[in-house]
Structure 1
């Protein structure tokens, strides 16, 4: 197996990044993997942020345990979206595939195992857009034989993809008229929240790279492969993350198995209706209303 390079994005949270790297090192594949770390520059007028960013950089220089270490420190603040688009493009165009993480994620011991198996297994299958390590809590049918399922929407919480799929994304949303025409089908495919997020991105109200990636997935009619139980714990809901609130509607059950295993991946790329319905529910209007209420309460 040719192990995919791991790309990690850090900013101003040294402890969070240390937790992410430590959890990666609990994966057997870490020592065979090239690690690329991109650290964004401090924002102007943010007291104490320059020092925090420098602390992150000092830590990054000290990382050991991977096959190789490469790091890029931005002098100016690019923002998460531009950092990810630029960093992933740089690495994926050299290696052909990548595993991507942000600094608020804690990975289970079989995370890299699953990601690399998925990248190898579906590399030639153009129906697959991405391999995702995070899964919302779903109940698989009693006779379901696989360790993973397909969904219409990628997760940004620990994911991987290939060069030929990444480079087809329209990051500038140039064909906006088609987006509007496809609005209802896009919502039906990926959830009630997607069109508003994409429209806000077009208007400059947000800069999400992930919603543009998801729209490209919809346009290209591709699916993401996702483990039945999550291999990623998102710890970014403590309130100090740039894009995370204190409450998340995305409930999940972790697969903390330490024994190295071979995942039984679906050979036919198609949706399982019952799992799809459950996964899509997390993006439904009732669930989003409940999430808003809980966020206010908490």
Structure 2
């Protein structure tokens, strides 16, 4: 595969090894490997981070491959480590496929991303390519892909020209909220309220995440995400920095082979019925109270 790949890792040797095995089978020509530094106050984390980095020694990448290792000596945290590694990678290339250490891709995920990166390279309205296809019970056209307002980040791809619009500090959020842009977009007060609440929750000096800012950037720039007709990635990470608990309906999703259908025209237009359905089924649906309590207790115990 000629498309550059960024592999983002941290402190999970078990899931990292499974994802790296998929990458080794792929044999990309250009590979960026990001590794955040260990937190000094977390017992055993230094060893876990080093175990992950051991996997990426020269002798373990035994194919024709240009490798760039982005290793941080000190812990930057998920928000900065991920966003900074993407920014640094885009200093060297114009497009990227991005995988984190808990996302298992179907082999055809890479084919899909590469083809979509090429197909929509010059269409600046398209900002994101997702590997995730949720809610397959809702059919959206007959083609091999469609368009959404939401950019899922469990295996994804984008271009340098889109990442330049990334608003890490959410500096445009006040104007965005004042203009009621989301309410106009979705024609739904509840969906608008959901997103704004989440954007405000991450808009703090010591940010804990990076992905809400990316979704905001897509919204603010009226961008679109390409979505495959079938699901191409599966998240296997239930023990991480932001989530520690039982597997949810979002985890361990079945993946399928993506088949190109070049003879079917795909309109660059969003199906708003699907968007609202998708929001309410996958984002705004609350788990049972007992599960929410258990997960909150686990997060409290795990918090340093």
- Residue 43 of structure 2: aligned partner: 47
Aligned equivalent of 1:15: 14
- Quote the Cα distance in structure 1 between the aligned partners of 2:169 and 2:212: 12
Contact persistence 2:235–2:251 (CA under 8 A): no
1:181 equivalent to 2:182? Answer no
CA distance in 2, matches of 1:81, 1:187: 29
Matched, 1:229 2:223: no
Contact (CA 8 Å) 1:183, 1:195: kept in 2 or not? no
Paired residue secondary structure (1:150): strand
**Match in the other structure for 1:105:** 103
**Structure 1 unaligned blocks of 5 or more:** none
Partner of 2:166: 169
SS at match of 2:68: strand
Aligned to 1:68: 66
- Aligned match for 2:76, one of 57, 75, 78: 78
TM-score between the two structures when normalised by the length of structure 2:
0.84
Q: In 2 relative to 1, CA 232–177 (structure 1 residues): closer, same or farther, beyond 3 Å? A: same
Q: How far apart are the structure 2 equivalents of 1:82 and 1:39?
A: 12
Q: TM-score, normalised by structure 1?
A: 0.86
Number of aligned positions between the proteins: 287
RMSD of aligned alpha carbons: 2.7
Distance in 2 of aligned mates of 1:225 and 1:217 = 12
For the Cα contact (< 8 Å) 1:186–1:195, is it kept in 2?
no
Structure-2 change in CA distance of 1:42 and 1:183 (3 Å): farther
Decide whether the 8 Å contact of 1:111 with 1:232 is kept in 2. yes
Moved over 6 A (4+): none
- Aligned partner of 2:27 among 28, 31, 38: 31
Q: Does 1:134 align with 2:132?
A: yes
> Structure 1's 292 and 66: CA in aligned 2 closer, same or farther, altered over 3 A?
farther
Q: Which residue of 1 aligns with 2:298?
A: none
| Deviation for aligned residue 1:278 | 2.9
What are the ranges of 5 or more consecutive residues in structure 2 without an aligned counterpart?
296-304
